[in-house]
Amino acid sequence: MIPVMEREVLLRAEGLYRWYGERCAVADLSLELARGEVLGLLGPNGAGKTTTLHMLTGNLAPGAGRVTVAGHDLLDDPRAAKAAIGYLPEQPPLYRELTVGEYLRYCARLNRIPRAEVPAAVRRAMARCGLEGMERRLIGNLSKGYQQRVGIAQAIIHNPAVVVLDEPTVGLDPIQIREIRELVRELGREHAVILSTHILPEVQMVCSRVEIIHQGRIVWSAALDELERELAADALVVGLGHPPAPEALAAVPGVTAVEPLGAGRFRLRHAPGASPAEAVAEAAVRGGWGLVELTPERRTLEQVFVELTTGEAAQEKEAA
| Residue 149 lies near another protein (rule: CB under 8 A) | no
CA distance 102 to 110: 12
Phi/psi for 188 (5° steps) reads -65, -20
| Residue 78 lies near another protein (rule: CB under 8 A) | yes
Q: Which stretch binds another protein (CB under 8 A): 53-61, 125-133, 171-179, 188-196?
A: 53-61
Coil, strand or helix at 244? coil
Residue 53 CB, shortest distance to another protein, in Å, is 10
How big is the site for another protein, counted in residues (CB under 8 A)? Answer: 33
61, 120, 274, 313: which one binds another protein (CB under 8 A): 61
Residue 44 CB, shortest distance to another protein, in Å, is 21
Residue 272 CB, shortest distance to another protein, in Å, is 43
Which value, in Å, is the radius of gyration of the alpha carbons in the chain?
25
Is 84 or 284 the residue whose CB approaches another protein more closely? 84
Fill in the amino acid letter for 151: G
212 Cβ contact list (under 8 Å, min separation 6) = 42, 43, 218, 219, 220, 221, 304, 305, 308, 309
| Residue 79 lies near another protein (rule: CB under 8 A) | yes
Return the number of other C-beta atoms located less than 10 Å from residue 137's C-beta: 15
Residue 159 CB, shortest distance to another protein, in Å, is 13
Residue 313 CB, shortest distance to another protein, in Å, is 24
Residue 189 CB, shortest distance to another protein, in Å, is 23
CA distance 292 to 226: 33
- Report which DSSP code applies to 299: P
Interior/surface letters 258-295, b for 16+ CB within 10 angstroms, e for the rest:
beeeeebbbebbbeeeebbbeebeebbeeeebebeebe
| Residue 289 lies near another protein (rule: CB under 8 A) | no
| Residue 95 lies near another protein (rule: CB under 8 A) | yes
Residue closest to 89 by CA, chosen among 50, 62, 44, 125: 50
Q: Which stretch binds another protein (CB under 8 A): 3-11, 87-95, 201-209, 302-310?
A: 87-95
Scanning residues 155 to 214, which ones bind another protein (CB under 8 A)?
none
76, 97, 190, 259: which one binds another protein (CB under 8 A): 97
| Residue 107 lies near another protein (rule: CB under 8 A) | yes
Q: DSSP secondary structure string, 74-102?
A: TTTSHHHHHHTEEEE-SS----TTSBHHH
Phi/psi for 269 (5° steps) reads -85, 145
Q: Which stretch binds another protein (CB under 8 A): 99-107, 194-202, 220-228, 278-286?
A: 99-107
CA distance 189 to 127: 17
Scanning residues 219 to 238, which ones bind another protein (CB under 8 A)?
none
Residue 63 CB, shortest distance to another protein, in Å, is 9
Phi/psi for 189 (5° steps) reads -75, -40
Residue 173 CB, shortest distance to another protein, in Å, is 23
2, 7, 15, 20: which one binds another protein (CB under 8 A): 20
| Residue 57 lies near another protein (rule: CB under 8 A) | yes
Q: How far is CA 233 from CA 118, 206, 268, 274, 298, in A?
A: 52, 22, 11, 9, 4
Is 20 or 242 the residue whose CB approaches another protein more closely? 20
| Residue 59 lies near another protein (rule: CB under 8 A) | yes
Binding residues for another protein (CB under 8 A): 18, 20, 54, 57-61, 78-83, 85-87, 89, 91, 93-98, 102, 106-107, 109-112, 154
